[in-house]
């Protein structure tokens, strides 16, 4: 051991090829050992070190940093890291009632500031339960519509008891139930979680097969220091960006004007090709004795067939549903027929607040709000 | 060797920026010291230089060909107008100077060989090694600029020789002033960028080159360096590790290394040098770039106007500029070390100094000591001699202001740099008055170390924030933006 550590002996300082080869070999061995130790201990997972929710406030929505847009965030794709930096990881107050929102970009707040999304607008309504607990909403949605991805996030939260959730609100739109030939990038970045969840709830698809293939690569290409160098860099960058986030409240700078996406939308592209995910998500909430409610997000087009199907499925599974699909006119949408303006998010939040009243026994919700969305309780 | 030289030259010519230069420096150093057997180092290096020069020359010819064709097309098509011109007169001028320099050098070499026969290269002094090594590296990314700089250097060198030979002091002075003013004129012209040069053709390193040359010139007035050969002065002025970002070495110190026994190669130098380069790399490419990426204050104002964010940006910039500058300096010192040259230190924990005076004794030390010796002392000495000690504070004020404004203008000719200079000049002056008026307090602090330490800690905080606020004028492009940002820092909306 002594001779191994003493890798730069004085008598070999003179130049020689043998010496250089010896140094190179020892550097290689040390690097391999270091990588193996990293694989064994997974330092990014131990205590999930982060400045968020401590020195700086936690993020109010999941971080996402697309190319081309200025952002004070990075694409941290590991769920453990995403949630460690999120406000959901702060300790729960004694008089707090936690409501979690999962869904896609319309609830994540594409084209909106983090504070201008529906869950945060709901927070601003200062709702209380009948036993005096304050309702706090957490936006755990993530961009791109995909039911498996929503399941994955929910599964992580529910299987880690530290988040102490009280109610789950799943905000859905027709695109969530469209077929996904390729897996979501969150699934690819968390293959162990995705595969074990798929096995537990009997899910199978071509996309999930792709995720399972990720598990077949050797350890040093998955969880070594070498393979996780990007994760480490992103983790570090994200700590720095936390300073900017905490002082500006901004995470992603959208352009002032974004052209309206003219892609075909409506019922033509929709069909229920992920039926398993719907049922599995409801089962998952049931397995953890967690109340789950469904909210159909506002849309700028009519989809009667989808609405009917959704109401029937919710009814058969015994899940309460609030149908806000026809709540807003097209003026409340931004670049697509799903992404809402700030005002749209506020109106949406009022409807959700009114609808949640029976479940939460909300005592002091605004009395001048009028329920518009039909519900299927 | 030809292959390696070509690759290095190509790497530089592709415009890989300062990273390319640093990597080339490290690679070439290793190749030079390790791969080449000692007996053939000189020969190999000369060959290496020639190949790189030819590669660079070919690039120049290629650019000239493109420019000529572009010109010919435009003239033929009678479409020549200001907006469509895709060439720069500066590019042609500098390229022509470069090629002319090469042709003159080759002719001179041919004539010399014709007269004296081929030199015994193995018996040449080590200065040749480093000079050739310089040429290899500078023939890359710097090749376009250095043609002109070498011409200026030739003029300066001639002037130094004339100064030595000059029969009278008056003649020396006249010649000296002429050359110094020529260099300063060229420097100011470059800072104003009247030629609007394209990105690649920047006058990289000219600032440091001029400071080193001016030091030799100014000291030559006093008859110093008479034993330094023109070759030694050339190697000193062109020493590549310190070319881009300092430190500004002094000739007497440099000559000690050049002539001393330390020049015998030691493996330890490479280890020390590489370690220093690694430390510098971490500072520059990790810490500085990390801070710069989203946090540090940039050339323009951010769209985010929150006071807290403004402070974050300013703190990040203060750390960024230190790590960036100190990192590059470490790389320069490390590269020099590998060649057996111990360049002077440039930073000594400047942000931990308890006063603005000690800050400037620890920040960019070689520049501030250069200006102290050649601007501050001469001005204050002259004024004290002519105006008397009665006006000592006025003299001190003028000397501080002139020195600091010159440092500001050295970074670029703009109102903001003048304000930055005034900021620091005023700080140094006020600190001097404060120190003079509080001597009894200082004695008390010396007797009570605990209180002294508390005062020092407060001094560090005040100095750091004073310097940091000064960076607002340094980094932002215009004074209006600087004022808006200052107001933003104190919660005042513009």
Count residue pairs from A and B with Cβ separation < 8 A. 40
A246: contact with B, CB 8 A cutoff: yes
If one compares A160 and B259, the residue with the highest pLDDT of the two is A160
pLDDT, greater one: A351 or B222: A351
Nearest to A247 among B267, B271, B309 (CB): B309
pLDDT on residue B20? 44
C-alpha span between A183 and A195 (Å, rounded): 12
Tell me the pLDDT tens digit for each residue of B307-360: 999 999 999 999 999 999 999 899 889 878 877 788 999 999 999 999 999 999
Mean pLDDT, chain B, whole residue set = 72
Give yes or no for residue B48 having a pLDDT over 70. Answer: no
pLDDT value of residue A177? 80
Chain B residues touching A243 at Cβ < 8 A:
295, 312, 316
Residue A286 has pLDDT above 90, yes or no: yes
- pLDDT, residue B56, reads 53
B463 versus A71: the higher-pLDDT residue is B463
Yes or no, beta carbons of A243 and B268 under 8 Å apart: no
Using the predicted structure, report yes or no on whether residue B271 has a pLDDT greater than 90: no
Confidence (pLDDT) at B5: 42
Residue B68 has pLDDT above 70, yes or no: no
Of B268, B291, B304, the CB nearest to A248: B304
- A111-125, pLDDT tens digit by residue? 899 999 999 999 898
Question: To the nearest whole percent, how much of chain B has pLDDT over 70?
Answer: 55
Residues of B within 8 A of A14 (CB-CB) are: 267
Contacts of B304 in chain A (CB under 8 A): 244, 247-248, 250
Question: Which residues in chain A are contacts of B309 at CB distance < 8 A?
Answer: 244, 247-248
Whether pLDDT at B428 is above 90:
yes
Reported confidence tier of residue A304, pLDDT bands at 50, 70, 90:
confident
Kindly determine whether residue A15 and residue B311, on different chains, have CB atoms separated by under 8 Å. Answer: no
The whole-angstrom distance between A122's CA and the closest CA on chain B is 25
Mutate to test the interface with B, among A244, A253, A256 (most CBs of B within 10 A): A244
3-state secondary structure chain B: CHHHHHHHHHHHHCCCHHHHHHHHHHHHHHHHHHHCCHHHHHHHHHHHHHHHHHHHHHHHHHHHHHHHHHHHHHHHCCCCCCCCCCCCHHHHHHHHHHHHHHHHHHHHHHHHHHHHCCCCHHHCCHHHHHHHHHHHHHCCCCHHHHHHHHHHHHHHHHHHHHHHHCCCHHHHHHHHHHHHHHHHHHHHHHHHCCCCCCCCCCCCCHHHHHHHHHHHHHHHHCCCCCCCCHHHHHHHHHCHHHCCCCCCCCHHHHHHHHHCHHHCCCHHHHHHHHHHHHHHHHHHHHHHHHHHHHCCCCCCCCCCCCHHHHHHHHHHHHHHHHHHHHHHHHHHHHHHHHCCCCCCCCCCCHHHCCCHHHHHCCCCHHHHHHHHHHHHHHHHHHHHHHHCHHHHHHHHHHHHHHHHHHHHHHHCCCHHHHHHHHHHHHHHHHHHHHHHHCHHHHHHHHHCHHHHHHHHHHHHHHHHHHHHHHHHHHHCCCHHHHHHHHHHHCCCCC
Q: Which of A13, A14, A243 sits opposite B312 (nearest CB)?
A: A243
**Measured between CB atoms, does A241 come within 8 Å of chain B?**
yes
Q: Which residues of A touch B267 (CB under 8 A)?
A: 13-15
B309 at A interface, C-beta within 8 A:
yes
Q: Does B38 touch chain A (CB under 8 A)?
A: no
pLDDT for residue B211 is more than 70: yes
Pick from A9, A12, A15 the residue to mutate for testing the B interface (most B CBs within 10 Å): A15
Q: Among B122-136, B311-325, B418-432, where is mean pLDDT lowest? A: B122-136
The chain-wide mean pLDDT, for chain A, equals 84
* Chain A touched by B37 (CB under 8 Å): no
Q: What is the pLDDT of residue B269?
A: 73
Q: How far is CA B452 from the centre of its chain?
A: 37
Least confident of A165-169, B252-256, B387-391: B387-391
Does the pLDDT of residue B380 top 80, yes or no? yes
* B306 to A247: CB separation less than 8 angstroms, yes or no: yes
Q: Given a cut of 60, is residue B12 above it in pLDDT?
A: no
The whole-model pTM stands at 0.76
- The nearest CA of chain A is from the CA of B24 a distance in Å of 21
pLDDT at residue B121 is higher than 90: no
Report how far apart, in Å, the C-alpha atoms of A117 and of each of A6, A352, B451, B456 are: 59, 13, 53, 49
Answer whether residue A234 shows pLDDT above 80: yes
Confidence of residue B46 (pLDDT cuts 50, 70, 90): very low
Residue B286 contacts residue B269 (beta carbons within 8 Å): no
pLDDT at A224: 86
CA of B364 vs chain A CAs: smallest distance (Å) = 27
How far is the alpha carbon of A139 from chain B, nearest alpha carbon, in Å? Answer: 24
Does the beta-carbon distance from A240 to B267 stay under 8 Å? no
Asked if the C-beta of B308 comes within 8 angstroms of chain A's C-beta atoms, the answer is: yes
Q: Is B445 on the interface with A (CB under 8 A)?
A: no
Interchain CB distance below 8 Å, B309 and A236:
no
DSSP assignment of A209-226: HHHHHHTTS-GGGTSSTT
Q: What is the mean pLDDT of residues A258-266?
A: 58
Query: Which residue is associated with the tokens 């869904």?
Result: A103
Q: List the single residue in B268, B290, B308 with the smallest CB-CB distance to A247.
A: B308
Closest approach of chain B CAs to the CA of A349, in angstroms? 27
B172-198 tens-digit pLDDT? 666 667 667 766 776 676 666 554 544
CB-nearest to B306 from A13, A236, A248 is A248
> Which of B312, B338, B489 is most worth mutating to test chain A (most A CB atoms within 10 A of its CB)?
B312
- pLDDT, tens only, A100-149: 999 999 999 988 999 999 999 998 988 888 888 999 999 999 998 888 99
Average pLDDT over residues A41-66: 88
Least confident window among A231-240, A276-285, B78-87? B78-87
Sign of CA dihedral B231, B232, B235, B238: negative
**Does A51 reach chain B within 8 Å, measured CB to CB?**
no
Q: Hey, is A193 helix, strand or coil?
A: helix
């Amino acid at each position: 051991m002594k001779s191994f550590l003493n890798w730069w002996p004085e008598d070999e300082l003179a130049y020689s090829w043998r010496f250089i080869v010896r140094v190179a070999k020892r550097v290689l061995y040390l690097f391999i050992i270091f990588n193996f130790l990293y694989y064994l201990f997974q330092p990014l997972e131990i205590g999930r070190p982060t400045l968020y929710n401590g020195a700086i406030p936690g993020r109010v929505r999941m971080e996402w940093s697309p190319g081309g847009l200025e952002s004070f965030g990075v694409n941290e794709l590991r769920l453990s890291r995403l949630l460690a930096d999120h406000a959901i990881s702060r300790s729960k107050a004694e008089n707090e009632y936690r409501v979690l929102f999962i869904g896609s970009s319309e609830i994540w707040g594409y084209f909106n500031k983090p504070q201008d999304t529906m869950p945060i607008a709901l927070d601003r309504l200062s709702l209380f339960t009948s036993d005096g607990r304050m309702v706090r909403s957490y936006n755990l949605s993530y961009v791109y519509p995909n039911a498996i991805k929503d399941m994955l996030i929910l599964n992580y939260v529910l299987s880690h008891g530290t988040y102490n959730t009280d109610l789950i609100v799943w905000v859905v739109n027709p695109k969530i139930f469209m077929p996904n030939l390729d897996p979501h990038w969150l699934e690819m970045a968390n293959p162990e979680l995705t595969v074990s969840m798929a096995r537990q709830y009997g899910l199978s698809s071509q996309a999930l097969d792709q995720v399972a293939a990720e598990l077949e690569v050797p350890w040093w290409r998955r969880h070594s220091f070498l393979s996780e160098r990007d994760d480490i860099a992103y983790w570090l960058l994200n700590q720095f960006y936390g300073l900017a986030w905490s002082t500006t409240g901004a995470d992603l700078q959208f352009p002032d004007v974004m052209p309206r996406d003219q892609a075909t939308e409506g019922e033509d592209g929709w069909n229920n090709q992920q039926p398993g995910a719907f049922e599995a998500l409801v089962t998952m909430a049931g397995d953890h004795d967690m109340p789950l409610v469904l909210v159909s997000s506002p849309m700028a087009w009519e989809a009667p067939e989808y609405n009917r199907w959704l109401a029937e499925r919710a009814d058969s599974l015994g899940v309460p549903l609030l149908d806000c699909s026809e709540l807003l006119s097209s003026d409340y949408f931004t670049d697509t027929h799903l992404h809402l303006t700030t005002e749209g998010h506020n109106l949406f939040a009022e409807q959700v607040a009114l609808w949640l009243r029976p479940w939460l026994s909300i005592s002091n919700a605004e009395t001048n709000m009028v329920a518009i969305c039909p519900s299927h309780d | 060797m030809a292959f390696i030289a070509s690759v290095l030259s190509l790497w530089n010519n592709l415009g890989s920026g300062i990273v390319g230069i640093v990597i080339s420096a490290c690679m070439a150093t290793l190749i030079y010291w390790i791969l080449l057997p000692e007996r053939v180092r000189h020969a190999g290096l000369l060959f290496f230089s020639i190949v790189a020069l030819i590669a660079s020359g070919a690039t120049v010819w290629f650019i000239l060909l493109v420019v000529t064709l572009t010109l010919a097309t435009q003239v033929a098509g009678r479409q020549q107008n200001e907006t469509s011109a895709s060439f720069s007169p500066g590019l042609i001028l500098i390229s022509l100077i470069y090629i002319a320099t090469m042709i003159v050098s080759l002719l001179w070499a041919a004539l010399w060989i014709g007269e004296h026969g081929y030199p015994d290269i193995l018996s040449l002094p080590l200065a040749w090694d480093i000079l050739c090594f310089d040429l290899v590296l500078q023939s890359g990314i710097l090749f376009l600029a250095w043609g002109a700089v070498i011409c200026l250097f030739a003029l300066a060198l001639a002037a130094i020789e004339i100064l030595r030979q000059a029969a009278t002091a008056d003649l020396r002075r006249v010649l000296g002033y002429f050359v110094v003013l020529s260099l300063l004129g060229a420097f100011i012209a470059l800072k104003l960028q009247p030629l609007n040069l394209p990105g690649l053709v920047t006058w990289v390193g000219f600032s440091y080159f001029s400071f080193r040359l001016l030091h030799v010139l100014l000291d030559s007035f006093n008859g110093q360096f008479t034993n330094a050969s023109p070759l030694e002065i050339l190697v000193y002025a062109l020493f590549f590790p310190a070319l881009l970002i300092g430190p500004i070495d002094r000739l007497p110190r440099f000559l000690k290394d050049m002539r001393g026994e330390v020049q015998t190669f030691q493996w330890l130098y490479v280890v020390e040098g590489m370690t220093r380069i690694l430390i510098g790399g971490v500072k520059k490419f990790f810490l500085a770039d990390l801070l710069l990426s989203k946090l540090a204050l940039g050339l323009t104002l951010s769209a985010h106007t929150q006071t807290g964010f403004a402070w974050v940006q300013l703190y990040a910039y203060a750390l960024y500029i230190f790590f960036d500058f100190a990192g590059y300096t470490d790389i320069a010192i490390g590269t020099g070390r590998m060649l057996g040259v111990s360049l002077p230190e440039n930073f000594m924990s400047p942000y931990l100094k308890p006063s603005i005076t000690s800050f400037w004794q620890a920040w960019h030390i070689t520049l501030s000591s250069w200006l102290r010796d050649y601007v501050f002392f001469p001005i204050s000495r002259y004024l004290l001699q002519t105006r008397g000690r009665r006006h000592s504070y006025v003299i001190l004020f003028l000397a501080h202001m002139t020195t600091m404004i010159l440092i500001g203008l050295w970074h670029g000719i703009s109102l903001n740099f003048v304000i930055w200079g005034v900021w620091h000049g005023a700080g140094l002056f006020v600190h001097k008055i404060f120190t003079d008026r509080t001597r009894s307090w200082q004695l008390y602090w010396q007797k009570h170390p605990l209180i002294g330490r508390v005062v020092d800690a407060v001094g560090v905080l005040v100095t750091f924030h004073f310097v940091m606020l000064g960076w607002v004028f340094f980094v932002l492009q215009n004074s209006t933006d600087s004022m808006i940002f200052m107001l933003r820092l104190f919660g005042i909306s513009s």
